[in-house]
Structure 1
């Protein structure tokens, strides 16, 4: 039996629109704790972290709300580090995706301490690989992958006193369909493995997930960073940066079930839920449904081959 440590991070300091800060409580309202407990999991809900308010200012030197993003990520880093040290599975409830800098930095540091390999599955409509010098907006939720690779403000790339937190070989980007030209060059230079929507269309989600999960074993810490705008907005309207043409409900369920089949899931981010743009908490309810599948709820009726 696993113990899940729920860590709410209610902020939208890295985002382009207001509202993601309400995401953690929307997930709770949608029955997240009860759904996890129904899977025979022990849940410790630590409530919400505290951090600076969103000042909603213009970018400075290509970065919006840098000080606030640093502080929020430090709070997330500390909470995730504490959960891992206690032998618990951290589940960070965002908030915007810039918070994955703190979350994954703590996880990567834990992996170095215990001698485990790291594999990150990054589900997102966006590549999140911008730099301050190329970002069209300065929004830090468009930069966490680059920061985790060691490219960004020094305060955002050195949590745990280790830079870079993550290597390009340790991440798989899935569902990508909105990429700035500068990001495209960065991704190619770094050699990251990207399964964009055209690749998914051409090869199918089963082949994508088989490849993304290849090589995972008992010595691997598997982390899922799940941006809800990865999903098609027809089924997940409650996000701040919706992009048409994302995975369907069935494709998303297959992703979650194949991850669950590995038995290796060790930590999770759920981010960019924006209740202000949702319809009767529809996206939060869907997120809880998919999280249940990550922990073993399956539509499978036939016996496995």
Structure 2
């Protein structure tokens, strides 16, 4: 097995991958993301990772409450059900980290990052590791009950992880806040509500929006996003498929034009692989009901392969600089 491009922190066993399906759209404003895990499986995710020499264990799907499709209550839609799903995910993902495996959470909508990242943060506290979260998304996901126009909690996970949200969600993982703003980098942002924009700015989150990427280039943005990642860093990637331009990734419920191209997205994944520090991954918001021939799921699998070291040619260390 070639682990040169994949050698995460020493608390994990290089090459051991666990897939965790979380089939719910409980936090979204449109039905369909619950089918995301199966679409990724149909697109051959496990087989693709196995062909890279990785030991892949599919843990199957978690089982939580159905989506009742109700209106918001006190600024939140489906809060009790969102809490249940995230608690289940937190425990499942933390268990895989304890077993020294690299978990890939197959969503499901992006509210699930509350459960996955709180588990990763808990693991980092246990191991004395630094945490860096790369948040690839068209949206900042820093809404609150007073700011949200919809009450959909998939627009709130970063706020909740940073301690701004209902007590039931912010305390998952046993530490409030689960995440410090300085630990997260947001990449590809291009749709942010006005009040949300002020809060993101006030919190000091480092954001590489599409204007920045257009002006400075994706390579420069990623170099800054990965700055100071070292051997003591647990690198977590939270990949919302709407990060991509809808021209190449139509299978999402919240498309925003003007996203990264295929090559820009591949560059992001390849630069992460070059660090050798990837230690956990979310893949969320894939909605097969809106896809065309499963092409968005296949693209997601393609990008995940690049995260784990697949490249066109072997490149020397000098060539990577």
Matched, 1:274 2:274: no
Q: Give the number of equivalent residue pairs.
A: 305
Kindly state the Cα deviation for residue 40 of structure 1 after the two structures are TM-superposed: 0.4
- State the distance in 2 between where 1:161 and 1:42 align: 31
After TM superposition, where is structure 1 displaced by more than 3 Å over at least 4 residues in a row? 300-304
Query: Alpha carbon RMSD of aligned pairs, Å?
Result: 0.8
For normalisation by structure 2, the TM-score amounts to 0.94
**How far apart are residue 2 of structure 1 and its match?**
1.2
Offset of residue 244 of structure 1: 0.2
Gaps of 5+ in 1: none
Q: Alignment partner of 2:133: what SS?
A: strand
User: 1-side partners of 2:113 and 2:15: how far apart?
Assistant: 22
Find out whether 1:222 has 2:231 as its counterpart.
Answer: no
**In structure 2, how many angstroms separate the alpha carbons of the residues matched to 1:291 and 1:11?**
21
The one of 179, 196, 214 equivalent to 2:192 is 179
> What pairs up with 1:47-66 in 2 under 5 angstroms?
47-66=60-79
Q: Does the alignment pair 1:249 with 2:286?
A: no
Pair 112,133 (structure 1): closer, same or farther in 2 beyond 3 Å: same
For 2:127 and 2:309, the matched residues in 1 are separated by 26
Q: Could you say which residue in structure 2 is the equivalent of 1:96? A: 109
- Unpaired segments ≥5 residues, structure 2: 1-13
Q: State the alpha-carbon separation in 2 of the partners of residues 162 and 255 from structure 1.
A: 30
SS for the counterpart of 1:276 is helix
TM-score, normalised by the number of residues in structure 1: 0.99
SS at match of 1:43: strand
Listed one character per residue, the Cα deviations across residues 242-276 of structure 1 (whole Å, up to 9, x for unaligned) are 00000000000000000000000000000000000
1:99-178 pair list within 5 angstroms: 99-178=112-191
Deviation per residue, 1:104-139 (Å, 9 max, x gap): 000001101110000000000000000011100000
| Counterpart Cα distance in 2 of 1:134 and 1:256 | 32
1:199-214 alignment runs, 5 A limit: 199-214=212-227
Q: Secondary structure, in 3 states, of the residue corresponding to 1:36?
A: helix
Q: Which residue of structure 2 lines up, in the alignment, with residue 77 of structure 1?
A: 90
